Amino acid sequence: MQDTFVTVGTFTHETEAYLFRSRLEHEGIECFIADNNITTVHPFLSNAVGGIKVNIRSSDHEKAKVIISEIEEQSNKHQSKKIKVGSTIYNAIEGYCPNCDSEAIYVKNYDLIKLIISVIAAACLLPPPFKKDVICRDCLHKWKKY
């Protein structure tokens, strides 16, 4: 059977393409990078040729889809350490939403005054003087906790 090839990723920068290729090759999928030479010589042509392509044998496509979805999931987790609700920034914390059991819960940063009072309280071995505002990304339920 003759192999055909499918493009599983296109990148603007050669480094991204090589990182992606090395991840797939680590999983035993042979990759072929295309259009990297033209974009190395003329980087502004990257968009014109449709970016640097990472191609694989079509027989490896199903396996690659699983790995690619893992890569996307990891990068989504990485990106969601912080979320912005209105003008307020929330940081990811460990725990579960009491409303929907989601693990995607975030705590609001203290403002400066509350932060200073909390630091002083902690230095005096007092319990935290303020409850933190927590929000669930999935159901937007809000609650307070220490």
Q: 64 or 97: whose CB is closer to Zn ion?
A: 97
Q: 96 or 130: whose CB is closer to Zn ion?
A: 96
Least distance in angstroms from the C-beta of 69 to Zn ion? 24
Least distance in angstroms from the C-beta of 78 to Zn ion? 21
Q: 61 or 141: whose CB is closer to Zn ion?
A: 141
Least distance in angstroms from the C-beta of 114 to Zn ion? 25
Q: 8 or 136: whose CB is closer to Zn ion?
A: 136
Q: Yes or no: say if 133 and 109 are a contact pair by the CB < 8 Å rule.
A: no
Residues that bind Zn ion (CB under 5 A): 97, 99-100, 102, 136, 138-139, 141
Least distance in angstroms from the C-beta of 4 to Zn ion? 45
Residue 96 phi, psi (nearest 5): -130, 150
